[in-house]
Structure 1
């Protein structure tokens, strides 16, 4: 594969090749939904990426900011895929920042009417 360097490729194909998405159809859907930006501009699935472009993928729990270091047209091993990008993503939030989900004790049964109303008030309904 060393002799098959490309000048550019589709953004959905590249995102799948570097393993930011599990399938190419997921990458295409993210582009169509507006969750992918290339150099600050909203990217369609067929938008071309080249070496040096900044790709921002929004989705899941956090935003991923990557810089293209190498163009890949086909899916490759994880080690090669890691070399094809530079990850400039902000670190994920620490676990203590995430809101804790209240849980009932096991065997406590269904909540009473009073407990249900307190839960609804707590959730803001």
Structure 2
């Protein structure tokens, strides 16, 4: 049995799947509710049109998904109503060459910007004393 479809269906039986379910199964979003929020928020276009989470996705459809600064352009290759392992999820879609190139450019820009100042979660006792002393000096 294929992992790309629901347990009671064969792969040939599945013609369409809800957009939010497919995005979740393709691991674009961690939960189906996050996928639904993204679609409702206009972060996902299906065939260059805004749509609702209940819109049906078919093989060959084109998706534009915005996640943070990333903009993915995908073509649906397979349908899935259940979430499977990551290698199976990657086989559900094909990312366009332009999208891959844009992500590489964005990745390089982030690398060149540098991480900035990285603080630990909380200053230790010595650092807290230094901060208090510094603030006391500046208040005078």
Q: Same fold (TM over 0.5)?
A: yes
Which of structures 1 and 2 has the bigger CA Rg? 2
- Tell me what 1:123 maps to: none
TM-score of the two chains, using structure 2 as the length reference: 0.68
Q: CA RMSD in A?
A: 2.3
1:49-88 matches, cutoff 5 A: 49-88=57-96
Q: Deviations over 1:38-69 (max 9, x none)?
A: 01001210111111111111122311111100
Structure 1 position 102, deviation (Å): 5.5
Specify the alignment match of 1:119 in structure 2. none
TM-score (norm 1): 0.76
SS at match of 1:74: coil
Q: CA deviation at 1:4?
A: 3.1
Equivalent in the alignment of 2:5? none
Runs of 4+ more than 6 Å apart: none
Match of 2:103 among 81, 85, 91: 91
Counterpart among 3, 7, 11 of residue 4 in structure 1: 11
Change (3 A) 1:103 1:23: closer
Equivalent residue number for residue 30 of structure 1: 38
Query: Which consecutive unaligned segments of at least 5 residues does structure 2 have?
Result: 3-9
